[in-house]
Amino acid sequence: MAKLIINANEIITLKGSDKRPRTKEGMSELAILANGCVLIDQDQIAAVGTLEELQQDYSHLLEQAEVIDAAGKVVMPGLVDCHTHLVHGGTRENEFNMRLNGASYMEIMNAGGGIHSTAKSTRNAGFEELYDKAYRHLNEFLKYGVTTVEAKSGYGLDWEHEKKQLEVAKKLQDTHAVDVISTFMGAHAVPREFKGREDEFVDIIIHEMLPKVAEEKLAEFNDVFCEKGVFTPEQSRKILEAGKQYGLTPKIHADEIEPYEGSELAAEIGAISAEHLLVASDEGIRRMAEAGTIGVLLPGTAFFLRAPFARGRLMIDCGVPIAISTDFNPGSSPTISLPFIMNLACMNMGLTLEEVLTASTINAAYAINRGHLIGSLETGKKADILILNVANYKQLQYHYGMNHTHMVLKNGEIVVK
């Protein structure tokens, strides 16, 4: 059955963004329609326009459409969270307290906590337990208006458990309303049992894991934690180049804790995105702009680790297409509230209210190769739509730390109201 959203104060269409991610001034063009309508036919957007315009061309659909009154509200594309570690076992609130008492994130990890601690919990958890936990997290994402989530593996760190994580993500994609896009991240940490034999683990990723990920079609992207004490730029390059041979698109956790030329590497190998970038160099930023590498910024991580925020303002001014995401994970960013993360980007990275909307919709969609399908309200795109209980889009961040969701539609179906 068709649906017709009417009377919205503002429809943030982000129209005109169907070829490539937005840069510079393009990030401020929201293409807002006042008092317009969105017509939905099954799982797709049939048209966006005034009621008069739609009555001319779509009278057959309008006659039988279920009407959704959005008077006084804002309608926008469903939010896209393009960087999460959705599937994992356990929680790490004790480490949070250790950090409040002065320990650093890398100290905790090098002492066997951090990613290693979650790897242990994830290895010990059964498939159903991981699935149920992640399913509940997806329910929460949906309540905040997030309709697509990227999910990285990387807490298995051996094939048996990496595969389990990826298969959980696959089952979530098949069973949950939220779309789950999979990234293989076997190179998230060197497992404890490979200490001192790091290159051996790199070889296992390249020769044993990557071929199986491709053969079993378990992921679209391949990510590496390129960081001092984790994977070197040389190891990262090898893993990402090998992934390309198997059709996996490279992504990089780059320049998160210490500058390590991860952003330069991302640009050089044609990664779709470099993510984190807290301490990316001027040169790295310049090269990303030149190569069109998307900068996925994760302000929740800087906030929660009390680290310097990525230079988002500078990156946009230099022409890097910017996306914003939660980095949802049990260590460095245990929140699913993308609207709160958007607020952090405004307050601490210098993004404007317009840029942050672009960064969490159409640009985030491009960061997971879905720019042609989601991230804007345009004819033919998926009917993934968020209706907000605010009078204009500026109020979404002005009334910060609140959940303004009124209704969420996914593939044309009402999933939250």
Annotated binding site: 83, 85, 92, 155, 188, 253, 256, 327, 329, 331-332
Residue 115 interacting entry, from ligand NIG, Fe ion, none, C-beta within 5 to 8 Å by type: ligand NIG
Q: Is 225 in the site for ligand NIG (CB under 6 A)?
A: yes
Q: Which of residues 317-336 bind Fe ion (CB under 5 A)?
A: 327
Annotated binding site for N-formimidoyl-L-glutamate: 155, 329, 331
Q: Is 186 in the site for ligand NIG (CB under 6 A)?
A: no
In 3D, which of 81, 82, 77 has the Cα closest to residue 32?
A: 77
Q: How far is CA 18 from CA 31, 160, 268, 322, 371, in A?
A: 13, 39, 25, 16, 6
Rounded Cα–Cα distance for residues 136 and 234 (Å): 38
Residue 343: its H or E element: helix 338-349
Q: Which of residues 88-147 bind ligand NIG (CB under 6 A)?
A: 114-115, 118
- What minimum distance in Å lies between the beta carbon of 331 and ligand NIG? 2
**H helix runs in 294-337, sequence order:** 299-305, 312-318
- What minimum distance in Å lies between the beta carbon of 358 and ligand NIG? 22
Nearer to Fe ion, 121 or 411 (CB): 121
Rounded Cα–Cα distance for residues 78 and 148 (Å): 8
- What minimum distance in Å lies between the beta carbon of 333 and Fe ion? 8
Backbone conformation region of residue 154, classed left if phi is above 0, alpha if psi is from -120 to 50, else beta? left
Nearer to Fe ion, 264 or 327 (CB): 327
Residue 79, exposed/middle/buried by CB under 10 A (0-12, 13-18, 19+)? buried
Rounded Cα–Cα distance for residues 48 and 91 (Å): 43
Report DSSP state, residue 78: P
- What minimum distance in Å lies between the beta carbon of 88 and Fe ion? 11
Residue 3: its H or E element: strand 3-6
- What minimum distance in Å lies between the beta carbon of 279 and ligand NIG? 13
- What minimum distance in Å lies between the beta carbon of 305 and Fe ion? 12
Among 36, 113, 330, 371, interactor with ligand NIG by CB under 6 A: 330
Nearer to Fe ion, 23 or 301 (CB): 301
Q: Is 256 in the site for ligand NIG (CB under 6 A)?
A: yes
Residue 179 interacting entry, from Fe ion, ligand NIG, none, C-beta within 5 to 8 Å by type: none
Token couple for 57:
């061309």
Q: Which of residues 284-323 bind ligand NIG (CB under 6 A)?
A: 301
Q: Is 171 in the site for ligand NIG (CB under 6 A)?
A: no
Three-class SS string for 267-291? HHHCCCEEEECCCCCHHHHHHHHHH
- What minimum distance in Å lies between the beta carbon of 319 and ligand NIG? 25
Residue 301 interacting entry, from Fe ion, ligand NIG, none, C-beta within 5 to 8 Å by type: ligand NIG
Q: Is 256 in the site for Fe ion (CB under 5 A)?
A: no
Q: Is 360 in the site for ligand NIG (CB under 6 A)?
A: no
Is the distance from CB of 142 to CB of 179 less than 8 angstroms? no
Radius of gyration of the chain (CA): 21
Residue nearest to ligand NIG (CB): 331
Q: Is 179 in the site for Fe ion (CB under 5 A)?
A: no
What phi and psi values does residue 378 have, to the nearest 5 degrees? Answer: -140, 150
Q: Which residues bind to Fe ion, rule: CB under 5 A?
A: 327
Q: Which residues bind to ligand NIG, rule: CB under 6 A?
A: 85, 114-115, 118, 225, 253, 256, 301, 327, 329-332
